[in-house]
Amino acid sequence: MTRRRWIADEVKGDTAALVGDHAAHLARVLRAEVGQKFDIAAGEEVRRGTITFVSYDRVEFALDAKPYRPRRLKSSADPKITLVLAVFKFDRMEWAIEKCTEIGVARIIPVIARRSDTHLVAAAAKRHERWQRIARQAAEQSRRETPPEIANPLKLKALAEDIISAEVDRIVLAESEADASLGDVLRPLSTEVALAVGPEGGWTGEELAWFYETGWKAASLGNTILRTETAAIVATALAMEALR
């Protein structure tokens, strides 16, 4: 049976801990007890951990002296996908965050698009902590060593070079505006790519013009119109596979 993995919030020597809501899920929902063993992603390695202390806001582990499986170091051949995701209906957006995390996305940047609903834009900043929690839980479920970075929501035109480097290959999903398929656009690229997925209704003409002026390439996922969450998941999966 596969042992459940947790990503430690704190690591010090041969001890680790989960804190806050992270600990509460293990303590309250899963009814953790002293002596139970789990896999703990701790720094540069995955180690077996035995629970030594449980409270509703803190769970502590004694870690085995040696890692049972050293964390695989990232190499230049590992895809690093940044997903620029327009803010849209929260329940579906959070499903996309969860599934793209499981697939292996490295970073998610929520952006405020022209067609993002006003009430969602107003509430987006308050959802950041929740999005981080969803990504961490999905990373643990899929046995990743670290969750993806979830950036604070920002306006589309704030995607300057300090947010996404000019050296990163950048692709905007434009559907009918693009003749090339995403697979064809990805094939000759490096292992670090940013993918921009628009809201329901797609990017506006003004937004697409900005993408093109700032060096983004256009790509399509085919002739059918996909929901935003479907497009995000399909594009992430295609990119991970094409760039491996």
The reported pLDDT for the residue numbered 67 is 72
Residue with tokens 């093109």: 212
The CA-based angle 101-8-45, given to 5 degrees, is 85
pTM: 0.81
The reported pLDDT for the residue numbered 75 is 46
The full set of domains in the chain, from first to last, is 5-70 (2.40.240.20), 80-243 (3.40.1280.10)
The reported pLDDT for the residue numbered 73 is 46
Residue with tokens 């969602």: 120
DSSP code of residue 97: H
d(CA 138, CA 166): 30
Q: Beta strand 10-12 with 154-155: parallel, antiparallel or unpaired?
A: unpaired
* Other residues' Cβ atoms within 10 Å of the Cβ of residue 93: 24
User: Which tokens belong to 76?
Assistant: 């230049």
Given a cut of 70, the residues of the chain with pLDDT beneath it are: 1-2, 68-77, 161-162, 176-179
The reported pLDDT for the residue numbered 69 is 58
